Amino acid sequence: MARIDLFEMERMQSLYWHRVEYDLSESGVVPMTLRELLGADADALLEAPLGYPLSEGAEETRAAVATWYPGATAEHVTLCNGGSEANLLVLWTLLEPGDRLAFMVPNYLQGWGLGRHFGTATDTFGLRREGDRWALDLEALERAVTARTKVVMVCNPNNPTGAVLTEAEMEAVIEVAERVGAWIVADEIYRGAELEGEAVSPTFWGRAERVVVTSGLSKAFGMPGLRSGWIVAPPELIREIWVRHDYTTLTPSAISDRITGVALRPEVRERVLARTRGIVRANLPVLAGWAGELGRVSFLPPVAGAIAYLAYDPPIEARDLAERLRLEQSVLVVPADMFGVRERAFRVGFGYDPEYLRKGLERIGLVLRELG
């Protein structure tokens, strides 16, 4: 059988998320309904023909997506099935045997596994705690990027920490990648779910020639069930990606294509993202209050996303703690190793019902207290 690393987090979630009483492993927000998004127009969807959509998505949809990326047009955009297919198609297109991927950690490890699968190796560089924020470890980035590096992949805003790179850090990533002629692949699926202020996190799009952005409706837009994702890239690369898309899923789903076109219209997008920001801003204090009262855990406040990465004191491996929480308390969290770091930490999602969150956290507290 062809070898590929187990994508442990996805495997764990797909096995257990629906079997536990409190699933705090989810990284999105309470999903939107069609009626909430479309209002009175929801009925029009019943008339939508369920034929094959265009492979790359409707022109109108791609143009709507492009409005979120300064300088992009419809020809820079292709739609696909989820942010995960976007990442798969991009890394499949860019990496060949002999190539190395430089990959930010902690992170959603899809890229890490794909780098090893399509290329020869994945080298990691870290975010590290610096005062009250997560900072890019520049020295580690310099070490990870060599003449063999074909792609530098970042997740910004970051999963699992909710950290956002500063302008200077983004420029540093670009400079280091450009020095060796590498592409930058920025997974920006949490962009738009900011915890403070009105501005969305900056995009990598438009900062250098060799930049690809992957994203979709699953996280900041609160519509993971649509399986809507997209890629923003130079048109020549979009054509190469399309060649691979013909081998995977051919097209987005007709419904996703249509709804993505509506959701990304600037006035609708603002409404959808305002809803998400309302949820994360209301719920973060629940998590912070619990953590403050319990002690034993600490976290740097996320800048964007409905996720927090909690370091804890009791001397137990993250994987073992997560297993205990699942088996003894029926709570699902994601241990640090599933983000590529071995340390005493785990991720919780706080984008769902606050009462549900509170109860799930209480159960985590029971175990942590017992552990001392």
Ligand X SMILES: Cc1ncc(COP(=O)(O)O)c(C=O)c1O
Least Å distance, CB 214 to ligand X, is: 7
For ligand X, which is the closer residue by CB, 111 or 365? 111
DSSP letter string, 317-371: -HHHHHHHHHHHH-EE-EEGGGGT--SSEEEEE--S-HHHHHHHHHHHHHHHHHH
For ligand X, which is the closer residue by CB, 169 or 187? 187
State whether the Cα torsion 331-332-334-337 is positive or negative: positive
For ligand X, which is the closer residue by CB, 162 or 365? 162
Query: Which residue is nearest to ligand X, using beta carbons?
Result: 82
Q: Where are the beta strands (DSSP E) in 73-148?
A: 77-81, 100-105, 121-130, 133-136
What's the chain's length in residues? 372
Bridge partner residues of 134 (DSSP): 129
> Which residues make up the interface to ligand X (CB under 6 A)?
27, 82-84, 108, 155, 159, 187, 189, 216, 218, 224, 229
Least Å distance, CB 38 to ligand X, is: 20
Least Å distance, CB 305 to ligand X, is: 9
Cα–Cα distances in angstroms (integers) from residue 166 to residues 144, 178, 192, in the given order: 20, 18, 16
For ligand X, which is the closer residue by CB, 113 or 216? 216
| CA 204 and chain centroid, separation | 15
Least Å distance, CB 110 to ligand X, is: 6
Contact 179, 145 (CB under 8 A): yes
For ligand X, which is the closer residue by CB, 224 or 365? 224
Nearest CA among 239, 221, 199 for reference residue 305: 221
Least Å distance, CB 315 to ligand X, is: 29
For ligand X, which is the closer residue by CB, 233 or 368? 233
Alpha carbon distance 180, 217 (integer Å): 33
Least Å distance, CB 188 to ligand X, is: 9
